[in-house]
A = this chain, B = another copy of it.
Amino acid sequence: MPADVDELIAGLERGERRALARLLTIAEDGRPEQLRQVIGALYPKTGSARVIGITGSPGVGKSTLTNAIATELRTAGRSVAILAVDPSSPFSGGALLGDRVRMQGHHADADVFIRSMASRGHLGGLSFATPQAVLVLDAAGFDDVIVETVGVGQSEVEIAATADTTVVAIAPGMGDGVQAAKAGILEVADVFVINKADHSGAGKLESELRGMLEMGHATADADTPAGWWPSIVRTVAVRGEGLDEVMAAFAAHGRHLNSSGDRERRVRARALHTIREIALEQVRLRFSRLGDGHDPLLDALAAKVAGRELDPYTAADELLEALDGGVA
């Protein structure tokens, strides 16, 4: 039985964690109409959180870094929510082992809220659910919403691209410099963190990274005259080393966002991304319903494609043509 949305939102306004958790569950895998109601009601209350994206390949110490950053932000008096987005995990929610282990560092600290999100639920998966969950956390009044993603997919790059400040974490000994470049991650980084900087190869990795940035800057920066040159910070997150420098980089980037007008651009980009993901989800829902055997045209097309009379691209063209005038 889904709780009444108005009641949950009233609970959220009273600061109830249970209401927050349930609203996040709706963002993750609620019924579409319920989620529409939630976002419609919450939306006017959003817009004051700072969104920090933290991304990086498995093994760079991303979770440790995220926790260390959250601790620093708390020390500075800010309230913090962490949304840990993991497409490879079968676990969602806030009460599972992984989360409990991770929360120990913040055990007595009621203002760090950690939520894991896996790729269950909605058709559109995490690329759809993440912006909705960020809106819920924003409406809940957190000063900072950290979105931690494994930086391997197109959708994670998109998520990172819409944060106010995006951290790309790399580490020596994993070839991550090159991998990051391939994933299109270089372009979205506002702050690079070279974690595990006490491992050998940190210096080499930093040189490699600076080289790549200079190459990119020489060829591709005509579009961004107000240019922010990404900070590069070394950390040993497990021992809390380098976190002051990370905070300084955040502050510097924040000043840049304000003075350059980039903050407004980011907020608009995030809004545009959210609109697009919702519109795409509406189309997905419609297509999904078509697939339940209720659409004679799609069934006929599938029979032809199954019989090799038609290739699937031509069939998709015919389907889209027939849907013209009625996609929503």
Contact = CB atoms under 8 A, between A and B. Distances in A.
B118 A313 contact: no
Interface stretch (A43-51, A211-219, A234-242): A43-51
A273 to B, nearest CB: 7
A152 B118 contact: yes
Contacts of A298: 272, 275-276
A123 B155 CA distance: 8
Nearest to A180: B90
A284 interface: yes
B312 A275 contact: yes
Contacts of A151: 90
A200 B155 CA distance: 40
A314 to B, nearest CB: 7
Task: Say how many copies of this protein the assembly contains.
Answer: 2
Contacts of A311: 39-40, 43-44
A323 B314 CA distance: 21
A328 to B, nearest CB: 4
A119 B87 contact: yes
A268 interface: yes
Nearest to A90: B152
A7 interface: no
A109 interface: no
Interface stretch (A65-73, A74-82, A249-257, A299-307): A299-307
Interface string A265-280: 0011111111110111
A234 B297 CA distance: 43
A327 interface: yes
B306 A291 contact: no
Interface residues of A, number: 76
A325 interface: yes
B152 A272 contact: no
Contact of A154 (B46, B122, B278, B327): B122
A270 B308 CA distance: 12
A302 B276 CA distance: 10
B308 A278 contact: no
B282 A153 contact: no
A280 to B, nearest CB: 6
Contacts of A106: none
Nearest to A301: B275
Interface string A136-169: 0000000000000011111100000000000000
A125 interface: yes
B264 A306 contact: yes
A283 B120 CA distance: 22
A282 B46 CA distance: 32
Given A125-B155, A279-B319, A323-B327, 17 more contacts: A39-B311, A86-B88, A88-B88, A119-B155, A120-B154, A120-B182, A125-B153, A135-B312, A271-B302, A271-B306, A272-B302, A272-B305, A274-B312, A276-B288, A279-B316, A280-B283, A280-B287
Query: Which 8 pairs, one residue from A and one from B, show the smallest C-beta to C-beta distance?
Result: A88-B88, A320-B328, A119-B153, A272-B302, A271-B305, A43-B311, A278-B316, A279-B316
